[in-house]
Structure 1
Amino acid sequence: MARLSRDQFLDLRPFRASPAFARLWIGSTLAGLGGQLTIVAVMLHVYDLTQSTFAVSMIAVVGLVPMVIAGLYGGMLADAFDRRLVALLAASITFVSTAALAILAWTQLESVWSLYTLSIVNSAANSVVLATRSAIVPRLLPRQLLPAAAALQGITVGIMVMAGPALAGVLVATVGYAWTYSVDVVLMTSLFLGLWTLPRIVPEGEIVRPGLESLRDGIAFLRRAANIRLQYILDITAMTFGQPLALFPAIGAVLLGGGPITTGVLTAAFAAGAFLSSLFSGRIGRYRAHGLGIELAILVYGGAIVVFGGVLLAGAFGVGAPTGVSETSPNIPLIALAVLVLVVAGGADNVSAIYRSTMMQSAVPDSIRGRLQGIFIVVVAGGPRVGALYAGTLATVTTLWFPPLLGGLLILAIVTTLVRLSPGFRAYDADNPVP
């Protein structure tokens, strides 16, 4: 019984197998925590300047094209040069853009457009870091430990998104934007430690110089890789129609009350689900049917988003707070229910991410892994930005509860249909990875 219980918990063998991976994980986790401070602070900052949910959603939208270009080109760089050096250079750009946000806030020279511009630079450079880092991990660990490494990434996401937004809400509400951005600047330095101590990592196999030919090779491989291609489409579907993050400032301000604190708590709830699902991921990593695992996890995610929309609908009708809400008078019962639903959604999304990441790192050859990781990062980061446009625009012309309610139903319908049409995806076996 004790053995069975231990098997259910997070597998820590990647730390023992590779000290380089352990240092990279620690640095990425601390830097990611700081990055979440800035993401939430910029959202609150823009909402404070504009009082517009649409303006908040546009933070993500205006950075989409630069992020796509950076992710694709970063993947090509990772397949042509020392991946350690590529990641260090991109991290330096992220550091500078974060420092610029802090300087503008301290000097009170910030504007909506300066916040947009620096967010674009930050997200573009960070997409290169993420794509390169993902291509590095399979070179540091044996294949059988990649699911455990992906689960550890869920712990990273849980820590940085659970603590980061909540801390950002508290910092913005108490000491202001300048201090919040400055804390991120300090935490960003840890990323350099994790990257600097890595060995030199040159791609294996044939090296193709960055350019159109390199990109064509990556796209041609993706066309042949039916399983990888479908997991991209499923993730885009989930993030486009089931990402309510852009609504959180308005939910805290006018629907459920609590202001910035509610914004931080709702965002943290999603990450808490990721953290808990990774903490008890021992058996998840041993499950071989990764395609089926992705499908089931996304269906649970879609169902949770439907329920979240229902909670907001109840709030719109005054359930739990018949006399109204404000920043100092939140609707505690519905906020608690919303948190519970988002914990389930975050856990399901993380289970899907574990299987998607492992499939990417196991089934794709090293010589093309950077380019596919670049496309993967574009999907992972671009999907929520399209989702922000969907949620922000639809909420502007309708109401706050409608985008998640409709979006969750669309996820359930689309995912069920696509996987049913792709029996090979359900038959994917981790012991015989076929892209």
Structure 2
Amino acid sequence: MSVRDHLIDITPLRTSPDFRAIFIARVVSLFGLGMATVALSAQVYDLTESTFQVAVASMVMSITVLLGSLAGGVLADRMDRRGIIVCARAAAALAFAGLAANAFSDNPRLWAILLCVAWDGLATGVSVTALMAVAPTLVRPDQLPAAGALISLTGEIGSIAAPLLGGVLLTLAGPGPVYAFAAVTTAITTLLISRIRPLPPGVGEDDDEDAAEDTGSLMVAFAYAWRNKVVGGLLTLGGVTALFTMPVVLFPEMVAEEFGDSDLILGVLFTAPAVGSVIVSAGSGRLTRTTRPGGLLLGAAFLGGVATAGFGLSGLIGLGQAAHLSLAVLMLALAGGAGTVYEILEYALIQHNTPDRLRGRIVSVSTTQDTTGDLLGDVEAALVAKWFSPAGAAVVNGAVCALTAVVVAIAVPALRKATLPLEDEDESGGGTGEDGPGAGTPVPAGDPRPATA
């Protein structure tokens, strides 16, 4: 087995021009968005000198992304997805242009910032949901894990590099140029996506018996998830892990109490999960070629919970400060890596087990879980920390995630035994290579009772 077998699989980029265009667009967009996020927080604080107002701006963004995701899921299952993404990204570019114009003005207004943030949140929610729904139509089913790994890797690298670059540009030039840069990068992504082929929903699913009864509502998607044990099990497990995830909101208090209120150590704790994620994504070659991902996904969810609990225990077992920090960073990196394994396989399994006519709405439900989980999870972790301690809250959250993974593994054998197709199973049809008339045509996954159920 060569080293190359363990490196991230870039086959989707080589064989699908449309996926390659969307991938490049995503990379460009992530850097613009990440840099703008830093500028937004800094500008709001400079204008108001209020951390509460910074939180309000963040809340406006989260709520509008949530609403946009729900709307985007319905739209993506009714209209051409390329057109939806192009319109949404164009709208986001206008929002960044508005932020730049406000920042360059002699008297920047907070209400203008919040209005542009809300507009961008809605546009981002719509475009992200539609974008996630199109990937299975651009790559073969056996390439879904590799596509998920590529998407995950760019997200983690962007989360590390973009804020750093944003901070540098903000220091040198102020928020206006940062927003202008975000507007330009978003316009570039709009142009890139406009050049791919049309992406209507439901392609290749004429044999889907339930399609005629699909009213286009979210309730149809929930009903499908109830029938399909793989999708239903994933949404159940994802909902719990989103709520009881790594309590990063407690990092500042833990650092203040246990590490002398060091900003450097705080930065290390925030970075550690992303480092673990990048390592796993970069070395995901063997992972993305697995044909029985269900058990591996459940194992990753369990390991992530154990690592989160281990992070909390590192502050409760009386280690010296150096040993405590080393163990805490190791557990955070392990949790980040396990989370990436889960994310890659969850993406592939949901996409493979959902018919194309429902992908937009199923993706919107999953995205909504993540968004609401982040919001409610911070509140949950803070309440538990008051009863115990920040470290105790991490132990509780980790234990809940690990226990849920065990319960789902026992209660949903279809998920535990779920499979993905081998490459040679898809060579005869539905490929996404650049050659042949069938390029880019998805293989239907419309049966609500998967073969592994």
Query: Bigger CA drift: 221-230 or 403-412?
Result: 403-412
Tell me if the contact between 2:144 and 2:348 (Cα under 8 Å) persists in the aligned partners: yes
1:421 corresponding residue in structure 2: 411
Q: How much has 1:185 moved relative to structure 2?
A: 3.1
1:405 corresponding residue in structure 2: 395
1:323 corresponding residue in structure 2: none
Tell me if the contact between 1:60 and 1:388 (Cα under 8 Å) persists in the aligned partners: no
For 1:6 and 1:224, the matched residues in 2 are separated by 40
Tell me if the contact between 1:11 and 1:148 (Cα under 8 Å) persists in the aligned partners: yes
Which of 287, 293, 298 does residue 296 from structure 2 map onto? 293
Q: Deviations over 1:213-233 (max 9, x none)?
A: 532322221221221122122
Tell me if the contact between 2:245 and 2:377 (Cα under 8 Å) persists in the aligned partners: yes
Tell me if the contact between 1:102 and 1:179 (Cα under 8 Å) persists in the aligned partners: yes
For 1:42 and 1:402, the matched residues in 2 are separated by 33
Tell me if the contact between 1:163 and 1:268 (Cα under 8 Å) persists in the aligned partners: no
One-letter code aligned to 1:131: T
For 2:215 and 2:200, the matched residues in 1 are separated by 21
Which of 14, 17, 23 does residue 15 from structure 2 map onto? 17
One-letter code aligned to 2:99: L
Q: Deviations over 1:127-147 (max 9, x none)?
A: 211111112111111111111
Tell me if the contact between 1:94 and 1:122 (Cα under 8 Å) persists in the aligned partners: yes
Tell me if the contact between 1:165 and 1:268 (Cα under 8 Å) persists in the aligned partners: no
Mapped pair 1:380 → 2:383: no
TM-score by length of 1: 0.81
For 2:183 and 2:331, the matched residues in 1 are separated by 33
Q: Which residues in structure 2 correspond to 1:16-415 (within 5 Å)? A: 16-43=14-41, 52=51, 61-107=59-105, 109=108, 111=110, 118-169=116-167, 176-203=174-201, 204=203, 205=205, 213-247=216-250, 256=259, 257=261, 259=263, 266-310=269-313, 320=321, 338-391=328-381, 400-415=390-405
Tell me if the contact between 2:142 and 2:420 (Cα under 8 Å) persists in the aligned partners: no
Query: Bigger CA drift: 63-72 or 216-225?
Result: 63-72
Q: How much has 1:357 moved relative to structure 2?
A: 0.7
Q: Deviations over 1:386-420 (max 9, x none)?
A: 22333456568876545433322222223322332
One-letter code aligned to 2:275: A
For 1:400 and 1:119, the matched residues in 2 are separated by 32
For 1:267 and 1:39, the matched residues in 2 are separated by 16
2:434 corresponding residue in structure 1: none
TM-score by length of 2: 0.78
Q: Deviations over 1:321-379 (max 9, x none)?
A: xxxxxxxxxxx987665544332222111111111111121111112222212222222
SS of match in other structure, 2:108: coil
Instruction: Report how many residues are paired.
Output: 416
Q: Deviations over 1:25-50 (max 9, x none)?
A: 01101211222233345456667756
Tell me if the contact between 1:7 and 1:282 (Cα under 8 Å) persists in the aligned partners: yes
Q: Deviations over 1:215-257 (max 9, x none)?
A: 2322221221221122122122222122434445667788754
Tell me if the contact between 1:74 and 1:128 (Cα under 8 Å) persists in the aligned partners: yes
For 2:153 and 2:256, the matched residues in 1 are separated by 30
SS of match in other structure, 1:428: coil
1:325 corresponding residue in structure 2: none
Q: Deviations over 1:279-331 (max 9, x none)?
A: 111111122222212211112222222233345679xx9964xxxxxxxxxxx
For 1:250 and 1:179, the matched residues in 2 are separated by 34
Tell me if the contact between 1:94 and 1:126 (Cα under 8 Å) persists in the aligned partners: yes
Tell me if the contact between 2:89 and 2:187 (Cα under 8 Å) persists in the aligned partners: no
Higher Cα Rg, which structure? 2
For 2:176 and 2:395, the matched residues in 1 are separated by 36
For 2:323 and 2:100, the matched residues in 1 are separated by 36
Q: How much has 1:263 moved relative to structure 2?
A: 6.0
One-letter code aligned to 2:226: R
Tell me if the contact between 2:302 and 2:403 (Cα under 8 Å) persists in the aligned partners: no
Unaligned runs of 5+ in 1: 321-331
Summarize the Cα distance change of 1:175–1:157 in structure 2 as closer, same or farther, 3 Å threshold: same
Greater fraction of residues in helix: 1
Q: How much has 1:170 moved relative to structure 2?
A: 5.0
Summarize the Cα distance change of 1:393–1:163 in structure 2 as closer, same or farther, 3 Å threshold: farther
Tell me if the contact between 1:82 and 1:200 (Cα under 8 Å) persists in the aligned partners: yes
For 2:387 and 2:53, the matched residues in 1 are separated by 14
Summarize the Cα distance change of 1:301–1:139 in structure 2 as closer, same or farther, 3 Å threshold: same
RMSD of equivalent CA atoms = 3.6
Unaligned runs of 5+ in 2: 422-449
Summarize the Cα distance change of 1:35–1:397 in structure 2 as closer, same or farther, 3 Å threshold: farther
1:324 corresponding residue in structure 2: none
Q: How much has 1:65 moved relative to structure 2?
A: 4.6
For 1:244 and 1:344, the matched residues in 2 are separated by 15
For 1:362 and 1:218, the matched residues in 2 are separated by 15
SS of match in other structure, 1:282: coil
One-letter code aligned to 1:70: G
Tell me if the contact between 1:166 and 1:267 (Cα under 8 Å) persists in the aligned partners: no
Query: Bigger CA drift: 407-416 or 70-79?
Result: 407-416
Summarize the Cα distance change of 1:399–1:97 in structure 2 as closer, same or farther, 3 Å threshold: farther
